[in-house]
C-alpha cells in the first residue's frame, strides 16, 4: 500500500468513491423530490383557490370547474362608483383575485385550459365584469414568450348586463365550458374592434357599430364533415354626413385588409389550424366572403393578393386551386 495514498485519504470512515456516488445521487433525488409535488392538487383546487383569495386578499369567492374551465365568482361591495366606473380600492382586490387564480391554475396538476373571473357589485344586480384567460397564455408570459401588450390583447374582457355564461343561483352559479375555437372567435372580434379604434385613419373615416365572432362547429351527429368555421360579422359605417353611410371602395378594401390581418395574427399566434374556413360577413357591402383555410394560408404567405380574395365567391379559389398553389 502506498504511504501517500493513505495520506490523501484520511477520512472518517467513508471512501471518496462512496462519497461521490452519494453526493451525485442525493442531489438529483432532492431536486426531483422538490419538483414533483403540485402546490394546489387538482382535487383541492376549488377549495385552495377559495382559501387563497380569502387569506391573501380578504375576498370571498365561489369556484366551480366545468370540463377544462374554472370559473370564479367574485361578489364585491362597491365595485363600481355612481358613474359605473371601477372603484380603485376594490379594483385592487379584484386584481388580487385574478392573480390568485393565475397562481392556482399554474401550480396544479392537470390544469384547466381557461379561467373565467366574473366580478359583480352586490349593490347593482345584473351588471357583471367578465374576464377570460387562456392558461397557456399566462404560462407563455411567465416564460417570456409573450409580450405584456400581446398578453393583454389575448384576454377577453366584457362588461355589461347579464353576460350569459354566469348565472348566479345563491352560492352556486352556472358556468359553461369555454372552448378554444369560441375563445379565438371572440378574441378576433375584440381585437378587430380595438384595431379600428387604434388606427387613426380608420377611426377618422369609419364608425364600428359592432364586431361579432363565432366559431360554428358541425352539430353532433350531422353528416357535415370538418372542424368548424369562424364567422366574423363586421358592422361598419362611414363616419360623417353621408345619410346612406356608404363606404368607398378603397375604404372597404382597407377594412377587409385590417380585419384579415387581425384574423391571421390571432390564428397564427395560437397555431390554430383545426378549422375549415373563415366567413367574413359585411352588412355594409351586403356580401359574405368565405375563405378556406388554404386560401387564407396563401394570403398569409403573400401568394395571392387581396383583390383576388374580394372577387365574388363564384370566381374565388376552389380548395383544389389553393392546395395546388400551396404545394408550389
- Binding residues (CB under 8 A) for another protein: these are 1-8, 10-12, 27, 30-31, 34-35, 37-40, 103, 106-108, 139, 142-143
Q: How far is the CB of 107 from another protein (least distance, A)?
A: 4
Order of strands, sheet of 62-66, starting from the edge strand that comes earlier in the sequence? 62-66, 69-76, 114-121, 127-134, 156-161
With cell 351527429, the residue in question is: 221
Phi-psi sector, 235: left (phi>0), alpha (psi -120 to 50), beta: beta
Q: How far is the CB of 6 from another protein (least distance, A)?
A: 6
Q: Are 176 and 165 in contact (CB under 8 A)?
A: yes
Q: How far is the CB of 327 from another protein (least distance, A)?
A: 39
Q: How far is the CB of 2 from another protein (least distance, A)?
A: 6
C-beta of 135 vs 278, nearer to another protein: 135
**Could you please report the per-residue DSSP string of 11-42?**
-SS--HHHHHHHHHHHHHHHHHHHHHS-SS-G
Q: How far is the CB of 65 from another protein (least distance, A)?
A: 18
C-beta of 41 vs 164, nearer to another protein: 41
C-beta of 30 vs 306, nearer to another protein: 30
Candidates 208, 207, 119; CA nearest to 158 is 119
Candidates 95, 137, 261; CA nearest to 188 is 261
Q: How far is the CB of 290 from another protein (least distance, A)?
A: 42
C-beta of 134 vs 215, nearer to another protein: 134
C-beta of 26 vs 326, nearer to another protein: 26
C-beta of 109 vs 207, nearer to another protein: 109
Distance CA 146, CA 219 (A): 35
Name the 3-class secondary structure at 237: strand
Amino acid at each position: 500500500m502506498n504511504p501517500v495514498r493513505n495520506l490523501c485519504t484520511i477520512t472518517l470512515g467513508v471512501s471518496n468513491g462512496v462519497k461521490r456516488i452519494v453526493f451525485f445521487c442525493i442531489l438529483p433525488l432532492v431536486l426531483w423530490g422538490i419538483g414533483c409535488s403540485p402546490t394546489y392538487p387538482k382535487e383541492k383546487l376549488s377549495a385552495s383557490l377559495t382559501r387563497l383569495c380569502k387569506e391573501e386578499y380578504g375576498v370571498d369567492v365561489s369556484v366551480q370547474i366545468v370540463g377544462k374551465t374554472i370559473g370564479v365568482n367574485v361578489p364585491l361591495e362597491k365595485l363600481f362608483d355612481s358613474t359605473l366606473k371601477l372603484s380603485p380600492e376594490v379594483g385592487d382586490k379584484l386584481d388580487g383575485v385574478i392573480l390568485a387564480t393565475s397562481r392556482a391554475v399554474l401550480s396544479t396538476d392537470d390544469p384547466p385550459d381557461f379561467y373565467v373571473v366574473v366580478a359583480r357589485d352586490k349593490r347593482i344586480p345584473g351588471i357583471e365584469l367578465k374576464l377570460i384567460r387562456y392558461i397557456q397564455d399566462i404560462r407563455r408570459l411567465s416564460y417570456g414568450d409573450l409580450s405584456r401588450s400581446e398578453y393583454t390583447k389575448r384576454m377577453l374582457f366584457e362588461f355589461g348586463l347579464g353576460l350569459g355564461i354566469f348565472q348566479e343561483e345563491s352560492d352556486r352559479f352556472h358556468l359553461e365550458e369555454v372552448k378554444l375555437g369560441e375563445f379565438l372567435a371572440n378574441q378576433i372580434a375584440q381585437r378587430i374592434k380595438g384595431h379600428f379604434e387604434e388606427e387613426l385613419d380608420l377611426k377618422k373615416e369609419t364608425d364600428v357599430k359592432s364586431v361579432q365572432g363565432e366559431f360554428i362547429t358541425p352539430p353532433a351527429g350531422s353528416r357535415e364533415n370538418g372542424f368548424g368555421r369562424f364567422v366574423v360579422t363586421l358592422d361598419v359605417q362611414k363616419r360623417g354626413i353621408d345619410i346612406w353611410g356608404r363606404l368607398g371602395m378603397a375604404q372597404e378594401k382597407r377594412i377587409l385588409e385590417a380585419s384579415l390581418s387581425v384574423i391571421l395574427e390571432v390564428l397564427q399566434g395560437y397555431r390554430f389550424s383545426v378549422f375549415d374556413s373563415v366567413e367574413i360577413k359585411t352588412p355594409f357591402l351586403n356580401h359574405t366572403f368565405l375563405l378556406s383555410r388554404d386560401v387564407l394560408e396563401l394570403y398569409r404567405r403573400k401568394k395571392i393578393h387581396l383583390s383576388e380574395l374580394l372577387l365574388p365567391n363564384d370566381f374565388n379559389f376552389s380548395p383544389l386551386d389553393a392546395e395546388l398553389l400551396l404545394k408550389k
